[in-house]
Amino acid sequence: MIQESALHARRRPLTEAELAAIPWMRLLSEDEHQRAATDLKVAEAGPGEFLCRTGRPVTYWFGVIDGLLKMSTDNAQGQTITYTGIPPGGWFGEGTALKREAYRYNIQTLRISRVAGLHVDTFHWLLDHSIAFNRFVMNQLNERLAQFIAAREIDRMNNPDVRVARSLAALFNPVLYPGVGQVLRITQQELAYLVGLSRQRVNEALNTLHAQGSIRVEYGGLRVLDLAALRTPSTMR
* Domain extents in the chain: 5-149, 158-235
The mean pLDDT of the chain is 89
Output the 3-class SS for 171-221: HCCCCCCCCCCCEECCCHHHHHHHHCCCHHHHHHHHHHHHHCCCEEEECCE
The pTM of the full predicted model, rounded to 2 decimals, is: 0.86
| pLDDT above 80 (res 79) | no
Q: What is the pLDDT of residue 2?
A: 43
Q: Where are the beta strands (DSSP E) in the chain?
A: 41-45, 50-52, 60-66, 69-74, 80-86, 91-92, 106-109, 113-119, 183-184, 215-218, 221-224
Q: What is the pLDDT of residue 231?
A: 84
Q: For residues 12 and 222, what is the distance between their CA atoms, to the nearest angstrom? A: 31
Tell me which architecture the domain covering 5-149 has in CATH.
Sandwich (2.60)
Q: Read off the pLDDT band of 5 (50, 70, 90).
A: low
1-10, 21-30, 134-143, 209-218: range with lowest mean pLDDT: 1-10
Q: What is the pLDDT of residue 205?
A: 94
**CATH assignment of 158-235?**
1.10.10.10
